Amino acid sequence: MGIKSIILAAGKGTRMKSEKSKVLHHIFDKTLLGYVLDAVNDTHMVEQSYVIVGHQAEAVTEFVNKNYADNSKTILQTPQLGTGHAVSMACSELENFDGEVIILCGDTPLLTSDTISDFIEYHKDNKADITVMSAIFDNPFNYGRIVRNIDKTLKKIVEEKDATIEEKQIQEVNAGVYCVNWNKVKKSFTELKSNNAQGEYYLTDIISWGVKHDLHVQAYTLKDNTEILGINSKIQLAEAAKILNKRNLIKLMKNGVTIVDPDTTWISADTEIGTDTIIYPSVYINGKNTIGSNCTIGPMAHIRGNVEIGNGVRIGNFVEVKNSKIKDNTNVSHLSYIGDSELGSHVNIGAGTITANYNPVTKVKNKTIIGDYANTGSNSVLVAPIELEEGAFVAAGAVATKNIKSWALALSRAPMKIFENWVKQAK
């Protein structure tokens, strides 16, 4: 008996006001669907995921196949007749499956792997046939309400638009995550009815179906209700990004990183930072990166992803780094750009240095390699592909287009001419 997941990602997300699928919108450099798939995979409990696609199905399928093909596949839902109908699209794939199935939404990027793991364990410990995740909200508007019997057992879930006045007063809501014993519950997806305000087949109806068929139905209440915040608009996308970023910053600070101004600092969850590194205000770190210990970053620096920074490195203000490796005790001074590069240890990058890595004619990005103890003067340009060997020096204002040998000086600058009293004569 194993565990598989079904992730609902077919919706258009009309309120996003976008041609792009809702689940392909980004927080930092990761899609909403990517956050959900990573959370599921990081439990190390789920062996296979089925992503139900509909709107922009080709784009979502391409994303899944490119990034999660090892244990995930997409299934097309057409027409789209509700969440219960969406899950039923996976029935043929799970025809002979004997185990638990986790059902999640693809627009909940704040849900953590720890919560999913606890949820699965709760389901197993209680020997439940169906477990739904719930949360408590002071203002539960727009959420489906958890309706319990007098003895607190689960009776049903009712959607906001179908709820009575009394049911709308309930503060416990459906978090949209389910764990089911597939063999006992799969029949429900052929028996769901669409006699509701929207004429859709609701996934929530499996609760009342389970109660009717004497199944053991449980509810697991979340400790942190922000984890189930779904993204239905650009406003909610921004709110979720702030929550996710705050969560990341707190984790880093607890692990010994100094964040001078958390209100202006953004660091992706996929960035690892060593102890005693200082992150100054207005730093934006995107994508997947590793930064060592005793570094200083910023202020106002931008690390764009796929960056490895060693120990004791200084990244100055208004510096941009992407797709590069920087070894220990190297300085990258202000107003510089380091892209597609490898920098050795004890390198000094002078202010305003540019690695010119992109050829706009061929659209090819080339590499810059800088050896240990090399230096670049202010306002220098290194035209890739190029290599500065150990101790090489590029003078200020130089445009370097050739490889530079160890301990050599590269100078390319027109001789300066001085015209005495020119200013007075001009006036």
pLDDT score recorded for residue 149: 84
Kindly state the helix (H) or strand (E) to which residue 309 belongs, with its residue range: strand 307-309
CA distance readout (Å), 126 to 119, 156, 213: 11, 18, 18
The catalytic position among 25, 123, 302, 334 is 334
pLDDT score recorded for residue 327: 98
pLDDT score recorded for residue 390: 98
* DSSP label at residue 332: E
Alpha-carbon gap, residue 201 to 198, rounded angstroms:
9
pLDDT score recorded for residue 209: 94
Sheet with 386-388: strands ordered across: 271-273, 289-291, 307-309, 325-326, 341-343, 368-370, 386-388
What is 3-228's CATH topology? Spore Coat Polysaccharide Biosynthesis Protein SpsA; Chain A (3.90.550)
Tokens of 420: 């005495």
The CATH label, of 2.60.120.10, 3.30.365.10, 2.160.10.10, 1.10.443.10, for the domain at 234-410 is 2.160.10.10
Model confidence, pTM = 0.91
Per-residue pLDDT reduced to its tens digit, 27-55: 999 999 999 999 999 999 999 999 999 99
For the question of residue 334 being annotated catalytic, the response is yes
The residues spanned by each domain of the chain are 3-228, 234-410
pLDDT score recorded for residue 194: 82
pLDDT score recorded for residue 141: 86
CA distance readout (Å), 71 to 1, 47, 50, 64, 116: 17, 7, 9, 10, 17
pLDDT score recorded for residue 351: 98
Q: pLDDT tens string for the chain (427 positions)? A: 689 999 999 988 899 999 999 999 999 999 999 999 999 999 999 999 999 999 999 999 999 999 999 999 999 999 889 999 999 999 999 999 999 999 999 999 999 999 999 999 999 999 999 999 999 999 888 888 999 888 777 888 888 888 999 999 999 999 999 999 999 999 999 898 887 767 789 898 899 899 999 999 999 999 999 999 989 999 999 999 999 999 999 999 999 999 999 999 999 999 999 999 999 999 999 999 999 999 999 999 999 999 999 999 999 999 999 999 999 999 999 999 999 999 999 999 999 999 999 988 899 999 999 999 999 999 999 999 999 999 999 999 999 999 999 999 999 988 889 999 999 888 8
pLDDT score recorded for residue 286: 97
pLDDT score recorded for residue 145: 93
Per-residue pLDDT reduced to its tens digit, 145-162: 999 888 777 888 888 888
Per-residue pLDDT reduced to its tens digit, 291-340: 999 999 999 999 999 999 999 999 999 999 999 999 999 999 999 999 99
Strand duo 30-31 + 26-27: pairing:
antiparallel
Burial zone of 180 (CB within 10 Å; 0-12 exposed, 13-18 middle, 19+ buried): buried
pLDDT score recorded for residue 104: 97
* DSSP label at residue 395: -
